[in-house]
Structure 1
Amino acid sequence: MVYFQKMTPEGYRQIEAEIAKLKQDRPRRIKILQAARALGDLSENTEYTEAKRDLGHLQSRIRYLEKQLKYAEIVEKQDDGLVNLGKSVELRFDDDDEVETYQVVGRMEADLALGKVSFDSPLGQAIMKQAAGTTVTVEAPAGNYQVTIVAVK
């Protein structure tokens, strides 16, 4: 069974950009490895060991990101008034009266510091497919809480 990773078009482009940046850095890392190898005895060559490890990490990251793109399901925004991937949503948490804005994104794109919440997080699951004016209960590991959807953009 193939599992497709849902993401926004912006998230897909971000991964493409990261892959391009990593591939651009690969020749430099290969040169560092070659220079370290030329120093001699590989069994006690710390520079060689570090350069080999760093290149391995870079190549592993590229493979991981390429697999994410291979199994990506790009979800376009729909103008239906419901919370969905790619949309911004204004939320009022019922324990305080502040309104916060989040963008609902795929798992790979989630970053709360940037206001991006994953559609499959407890908050994301609670608000998905809901309209403005709806109050939902979020079932989080730290305890349940309520949030009201103020606006869907």
Structure 2
Amino acid sequence: MKKENIRLTQAQYDALVLRRKQIIEEERPRIAEQIDIARGFGDLSENAEYHAAKEEQGLLEAEFQTIERQLKFAQIIKHSGNNDVIELGHLVSIESLNGDGNNFSFTLIGQDGDGEKEVDIASKLGAAVLGKKVNDVISYEANEVSLGILKFKVVQIQ
């Protein structure tokens, strides 16, 4: 069986640990109490409060299992301190070469980036910038077909 690696920055790992603790210490007890209260409302087959609490419990447990898997297979990536080549954890500034001259800055992360301040290496942009240097030109096909090929120049790596 192939070992799974989930590449995370230290900040992402710490956020997962914090969320896991919150689920164990706060969310699970809260939902358990809601289920106990709802059981007191009578017939469970027609008890909307009970079914809502059980559904919330199921969603929370699915989130918890995902976090457990991510923590189990986490590979914490730290950039080397060298700002010559883009690595995970770097703050990257790029300039659009698509005629609008817009500049964008984001942190390159291992997964689950928000697409604005954080970009996931599995995304088209993340994969395109990984390993690039200042003044390198990158291009990739936009998700929106009408935008075509997007081109950017790496302006700064921090």
TM-score using structure 1 length: 0.92
1:139 CA displacement: 2.9
What residue is the counterpart of 2:91 in the other structure?
88
Matching residue's letter, 1:56: G
1:148 CA displacement: 0.2
What residue is the counterpart of 1:66 in the other structure?
68
Pick one of 74, 77, 80 that aligns with 2:79: 77
SS at match of 1:3: coil
Q: Does 1:10 align with 2:11?
A: yes
Count of residue correspondences: 151
> Structure 1: how far apart are the matches of 2:155 and 2:37?
59
Q: Does 1:149 align with 2:149?
A: no
The one-character-per-residue Cα deviations of 1:25-83 (angstroms, maximum 9, x if unpaired) are 21111011011112221111111111111112112211111111111111011123111
Matching residue's letter, 2:51: T
> Structure 1: how far apart are the matches of 2:71 and 2:142?
29
1:140 CA displacement: 3.1
1:98 CA displacement: 2.1
> Structure 1: how far apart are the matches of 2:51 and 2:122?
39
Matching residue's letter, 2:14: R
Q: Does 1:101 align with 2:105?
A: yes
The two structures, once aligned, show a CA RMSD in angstroms of 1.3
> Structure 2: how far apart are the matches of 1:50 and 1:3?
34
| Residues 140, 3 of structure 1: alpha-carbon distance in 2 compared, 3 angstrom cutoff | farther
Q: Name the stretch that deviates more: 33-42 or 84-93.
A: 33-42
1:117 CA displacement: 0.6
Matching residue's letter, 2:109: V
